[in-house]
Amino acid sequence: MASDTPKASGQAEPPRLLLVTRSPPYGSSLARSALDTALAAAAFDMAPALLFLDHGVLQLLPQQEGAASETRSHGKVLDSLPLYDIDRIYVDAAALLHFGLQDMPLPAAAEVVDSTGIRALLEGCDHILSF
Amino acid sequence: MLGADAFDTEGFLRHLKDWSPAVAEQIASDEGIALDEAHWEIIYLLRDYYTEFDSSPAMRPLVKYCAAKLGADKGKSMYLLSLFPGSPARLGSKIAGLPKPENCL
In this complex, is the C-beta atom of A42 within 8 Å of any C-beta atom belonging to chain B? yes
Judged against a pLDDT cut of 50, whether residue A10 lies above it is answered with no
A111, β-bridge pairs: A90
Give the pLDDT band of residue B24 (cuts 50, 70, 90): very high
Would residue A12 count as lying in a domain?
A: no
Would residue A4 count as lying in a domain?
A: no
Q: Which CATH number fits domain B4-95: 3.40.50.2000, 3.20.20.70, 1.10.10.370, 3.30.70.920?
A: 1.10.10.370
Chain B residues 40-99 within an 8 A CB cutoff of chain A: 52-55, 57-61, 64-65
Pick from A19, A122, A105: which is nearest to A63 by CA? A105
Instruction: Please give the Cα distance from A54 to B9 (Å, whole number).
Output: 40
Res A9: pLDDT: 46
Instruction: Please give the Cα distance from B34 to B62 (Å, whole number).
Output: 21
- Torsion angles phi and psi, residue B101, rounded to 5: -60, 135
Nearest CA in chain B to A43: B103
**Inter-chain residue contact B60 with A36, CB threshold 8 Å:** no
Pick from A54, A66, A50: which is nearest to A99 by CA? A54
CATH, residue A115:
3.40.1260.10
Q: Could you report the per-residue pLDDT of A30-46, keeping only the tens digit for each? A: 999 999 999 999 988 88
Instruction: Please give the Cα distance from B66 to A116 (Å, whole number).
Output: 40
Instruction: Please give the Cα distance from A78 to A108 (Å, whole number).
Output: 11
Q: Could you report the per-residue pLDDT of B61-100, keeping only the tens digit for each? A: 999 999 999 999 999 999 999 999 999 999 999 999 999 9
Res A69: pLDDT: 61
